[in-house]
Amino acid sequence: MVLDNLGDVVMATSVLKPLRSFFPEAKIGIWTKAYAKDLFENHPDVDRVHLSDPFWDTAPGHPKGSLVSFINVLKEVRTCRYDVALVLNTEWRRSLACWLAGIKERIGYRRRKSRLFLTKSFEPSFPLKHVTNDHRNLIENWMGQEDSHQVWIPYINLSNENVSHGIQWIRERKLSPYPLVLFHPFSGDKEKNWPLSYWFDLIERLNKKKRDLRFVMICTAIENAKVREAMGEFPADLCQILVVPSKNLKGVISMSSLFVGGDSGPGHLAAALGKSTLSLFGPSDPIRYIPSGEGEHQVIQRYPLADLQGDEVEKTIMELVRH
């Protein structure tokens, strides 16, 4: 169970390959928020996906879920007769939901009042490391063994439809065959956002330095108005602004050479798709939350983020696109 926002859901995929290796005949399901459903389309290590928005929480751009809908999905989970629930990012309402779903063995950490509803609970290890390390420790503690042969990194697969959409998108915008830098300047927390005007200054600097690069800024429909307002006198032909529905996000990101953003879900998704990333962190702890995947991942941290100068970001991007 991972009833969290996009980045946390992506990081939770780090357990899927090891679980499939440990239990090759098992039916593996994932219980997550509805807006994350496209992450698991044809995922090789997921047999079932249960989608419900918690009635006590929101997802970015979405209201709280309804109690009735949550109960209906709880009943759906119950009919699947799961033997074990791994309650990632443990919290008492999630643990209680797994108990109400009739899952006999419920595994999680002793935090956020969860212990009462878990059959096996473990103390988090300190000092805190990456979130994926939390997930690994939880499973190894439950199994009573460590396995150094497993690779515990997030992984999101691409369907044929994702790839086709990405290729079509590149062709329509005449971005091929140039290296593409994808920018995502938003997150759910204003303190995690580098000022929008800095992004446009950065793009102008990069264009002067390396003219074979192409730039696209992705955003939601709500964020698009903020982007257009912040552009000012910025030359519109230097960077395409793209409103991306969640169902198309994987395909678009898969076409990039480098993803640059803040501490937000799309950066974690890019890393899980094997893309190199540069993340601009403000108050977040990069030890815990740096994107993880097969590419190269860099973080620059300043707090407040407005103190971060564009020349440092420019230099890191240039180093990454040369690799």
Instruction: State the Cα–Cα distance between residues 302 and 164, nearest whole angstrom.
Output: 38
The pLDDT of 36-63, averaged and rounded, is: 90
Whether residue 77 contacts residue 56, with contact meaning beta carbons closer than 8 Å, is answered with no
Q: Which residue has the tokens 């696209």?
A: 216
pLDDT of residue 319: 95
Count CA within 13 A, CB hemisphere, residue 60: 21
pLDDT at position 224 is 93
d(CA 282, CA 289) in angstroms, rounded, equals: 12
For residues 306 and 195, the answer to whether their CB atoms sit within 8 Å is: yes
Q: In what order do the strands lie in the sheet with 84-86?
A: 84-86, 105-109, 120-122
H helix or E strand, kind and range, residue 28: none
Q: Residue range 315-320: average pLDDT?
A: 96
Residue 127: predicted pLDDT: 87
Question: In the predicted model, what is the mean pLDDT of residues 200-210?
Answer: 95
Of residues 285 and 63, more confidently modeled: 285
Q: What is the pLDDT of residue 142?
A: 96
Q: What is the pTM of this model?
A: 0.95
For residue 177, cis peptide bond before it (omega within 30 degrees of 0): yes
Q: Which domains does the chain have, with CATH numbers?
A: 6-143 (3.40.50.2000), 160-322 (3.40.50.2000)
Mean residue pLDDT of the chain comes to 94
